[in-house]
A = this chain, B = another copy of it.
């Protein structure tokens, strides 16, 4: 019985380092390291001895030391927007959770970095001071500073979003196609005058959605597109003017905008879809549970996050990766856009 493993009061003690184990087992640090990692030549029997010792004594390796030795942090940074309205969007939260889960199964932890507007200070800190092995960006701006920065660093990163530049690893649902198809189907179903309640044009995804909408509309009067409808006040202001043009259907760019539009219509005693049709380019539980249920474009958000993480992890493993992954979408035509019922 070795005393290294007993405290002065006789209680068993956890070995703190591989050296403790080595001493106890009369082996060298190297052998312990090999037993743990499975790399390098080591006798099967020795290996078993070490492993069972580790199990019995609940040794846990110090990851910081390992990080320093192998120049790898086993952390990936996830950049999340923090603009006020973002907290109401379940998208980022859902995305974050699936990224985290996938990261964990691949041996990484997720370090958060909030990016307000285009302020990427903390992201730079994480990268420059080597706190992470890779980055996932969850929102893309038109001229994205984070992307421009990461480019210059050599740090692997993948964006959740669509960029024309296919040298940057990206995964996204095809917003352009999805929005074009949803819009086309609304047109087909007899919706002639459509209005688009759009978000911040500086966000790439909103531009993509707009392009899809515009493509389906053909020669649409641009007046029917209202940008920057990101808060209740803007929407209240815009809706009055908009209603004078008697649109048959209002398409909202995301579920938050849609919620606010529905609330406005409700206050004005306007009924959906009897008085006006409503659809959204992004679905959430609230929209489906609404009365009437809202027609919307569905995407598999958890899959989006998981895929981004898988691509990043593959890139970190030196595997060849597909630079652009397009995920599917699903169009859910629901009562809110059935004008003739």
Could you say which residues of chain B place their CB within 8 Å of the CB of A128?
A: 60
Cβ contacts A69-103/B at 8 Å (1 or 0 each) = 00001010000101000011010111011001100
B residues less than 8 Å from A267 (CB atoms)? 291
Q: How far is the CA of A284 from the CA of B65 in the complex (A)?
A: 44
Q: A95's closest neighbor in chain B, by CB?
A: B87
- A sample of 12 cross-chain residue pairs with beta-carbon separation below 8 angstroms, ordered by A number, consists of A62-B130, A64-B67, A64-B68, A68-B68, A96-B112, A100-B113, A109-B113, A109-B126, A111-B111, A260-B289, A263-B289, A266-B291
Q: State which of B65, B87, B130, B291 has its C-beta within 8 Å of the C-beta of A90.
A: B87
Q: Is A225 an interface residue (CB 8 A)?
A: no
Indicate which residue in B67, B110, B259 contacts A111 across the interface (CB closer than 8 Å): B110
Q: Is A189 an interface residue (CB 8 A)?
A: no
Contacts of A87 in B (CB 8 A): 90, 93-94, 97
| Cβ-defined partner of A62 (8 Å) among B82, B101, B112, B129 | B129
Q: A64-B67, A110-B112 are in contact. List 19 more A-B contacts (CB 8 A).
A: A60-B128, A64-B73, A64-B131, A67-B67, A68-B68, A87-B94, A87-B97, A88-B90, A93-B93, A96-B112, A100-B113, A101-B114, A109-B111, A109-B112, A109-B113, A110-B111, A111-B111, A259-B286, A267-B291
**Is A104 part of the contact surface with B, judged by Cβ < 8 Å?**
yes
Task: Decide: B260 and A129 in contact? CB cutoff 8 A.
Answer: no
The residue that A88 contacts in the complex, of B112, B126, B285, with Cβ under 8 A, is: B285
Q: Mark A111-133, 1 if CB is under 8 A from B, else 0.
A: 11110000000100010111100
Indicate if A49 sits at the interface (CB-CB under 8 A). Answer: no
Q: Return the chain B residue nearest A232 by Cβ.
A: B289
Instruction: Report A23 CB to chain B, min CB distance, Å.
Output: 21
Q: Is the CB of B109 within 8 A of A97?
A: no
Q: In the assembled complex, which residues on chain B have CB atoms less than 8 Å from the CB atom of A80?
A: 97
Alpha-carbon gap, A62 to B67, bound state (A): 11
Interface assignment of A323: CB less than 8 Å from any CB of chain B: no
Docked Cα-Cα span, A224 to B309, in Å, equals 46
Say whether A192 faces chain B, with CB atoms less than 8 Å apart.
Answer: no
- Judge whether B60 and A129 touch: CB under 8 Å: yes
Assembled-state Cα–Cα distance A260/B92 (Å): 22
Q: Which 9 A-B pairs have the closest CB atoms?
A: A60-B128, A110-B112, A63-B129, A64-B67, A266-B291, A93-B93, A87-B94, A267-B291, A64-B68
Complex interface: chain B residues within 8 A of A60 (CB) = 128-130
Smallest Cβ distance from A239 to chain B, in angstroms? 14
A328 at interface, CB cutoff 8 A = no
Residues of B within 8 A of A96 (CB): 112
Q: Is A190 an interface residue (CB 8 A)?
A: no
Determine whether A201 belongs to the interface, using a CB cutoff of 8 Å to chain B.
no
- CB of A290 closer than 8 Å to a CB of B: yes
The answer to whether B130 touches A63, judged by C-beta atoms less than 8 angstroms apart, is yes
Minimum CB–CB distance for A133 against chain B, Å: 11
Write out the residue numbers on chain B whose beta carbons fall within 8 Å of the beta carbon of A114. 97, 100-101, 104
